[in-house]
Chain A
Amino acid sequence: SQQGEEDPQALSIQEGENATMNCSYKTSINNLQWYRQNSGRGLVHLILIRSNEREKHSGRLRVTLDTSKKSSSLLITASRAADTASYFCATAGMDTGRRALTFGSGTRLQVQP
């Protein structure tokens, strides 16, 4: 099942602009994670935010989590052409019988030089 849904599905911006991607999910979570995937490659972990956290920063990345709205956002500031990739949110649910992540459908980001 696809718990997370990213919005927008695709985003094209100019280098130097900020990129914002949103993720919505359906069930209660322990944590939410963001991953990046370059075309034809494996995923790389970017950041993890726990259910009791509201905001987290890592370099040019800022993640927010609103558990009341079951949503998260990923902001990439001062984007670079090298940020071109697909970005996925993934949720770790509260169900201890399923110790696995559920991934969303992703946002494809294109940063124009």
Chain B
Amino acid sequence: DGGITQSPKYLFRKEGQNVTLSCEQNLNHDAMYWYRQDPGQGLRLIYYSQIVNDFQKGDIAEGYSVSREKKESFPLTVTSAQKNPTAFYLCASSWTGTGTSGSGEQFFGPGTRLTVL
């Protein structure tokens, strides 16, 4: 089955720890994205990547880091510098928009709920 997976589903972090959230897709999409969602809110863009070995900061990148060594994988590390990391994290992938077509449909994973203890 084609799709996008995230693990773990729930993650608990102690103060001062770095944690890494996994995101994998087998849709052969070039572009991948990380979003943060706080309760009752919309999605805010953390990082995105249009191609392997390249990524761009989104609107709230501080305290987060990513890598894109493989087309299928886009892990997100929440560092100790992120002061309020408790949130629902969503990964998505899509075909890369071409020309003036803009960003197209995004496919989302099931999310990881991160809680700081």
The answer to whether B58 and A100 touch across the interface, beta carbons within 8 angstroms, is yes
- Taking A33-B105, A48-B104, A48-B105 as contacts, is the C-beta distance between A88 and B43 under 8 angstroms? yes
Q: How many residues of B contact A (CB 8 A)?
A: 32
- The residue from B40, B42, B96 contacting A103, defined by CB atoms under 8 A apart: B42
Instruction: Fill in one digit per residue for A80-104: 1 if any B CB lies within 8 Å of its CB, else 0.
Output: 0000000010101110101111111
Residue A64, interface by CB 8 Å:
no
The answer to whether B42 and A2 touch across the interface, beta carbons within 8 angstroms, is yes
Residue B90, interface by CB 8 Å:
yes
Q: How many residues of A contact B (CB 8 A)?
A: 30
Give residues 11-46 of A contacting B (CB, 8 Å). 29-31, 33, 40-45
The answer to whether A88 and B42 touch across the interface, beta carbons within 8 angstroms, is yes
Residues of B within 8 A of A106 (CB): 41-42
Question: What separation, in Å, do the CA atoms of A88 and B37 have in the docked complex?
Answer: 12
- The residue from A31, A43, A48, A102 contacting B108, defined by CB atoms under 8 A apart: A43
Give residues 37-88 of A contacting B (CB, 8 Å). 40-45, 48, 88
Residue B97, interface by CB 8 Å:
yes
Question: What separation, in Å, do the CA atoms of A1 and B57 have in the docked complex?
Answer: 13
- Taking A48-B104, A93-B102 as contacts, is the C-beta distance between A42 and B42 under 8 angstroms? no
Residues of B within 8 A of A94 (CB): 100, 102
Q: How far is the CB of A5 from chain B (nearest CB, A)?
A: 9
Other A-B contacts than A98-B56, A103-B42, 7 sampled, CB-CB below 8 A, are A29-B102, A33-B105, A42-B92, A43-B108, A48-B104, A103-B44, A105-B42
User: Which residues from chain B sit less than 8 Å from chain A, CB to CB?
Assistant: 31, 33, 35, 40-45, 48, 50, 56, 58-59, 88, 90, 92, 96-97, 100-111, 113
User: Which residues from chain A sit less than 8 Å from chain B, CB to CB?
Assistant: 1-2, 4, 29-31, 33, 40-45, 48, 88, 90, 92-94, 96, 98-106, 108
What are some 13 contacts across the A-B interface (CB < 8 A)? A31-B103, A31-B104, A33-B105, A42-B110, A43-B43, A43-B108, A88-B43, A92-B103, A99-B50, A99-B103, A100-B48, A101-B45, A106-B42
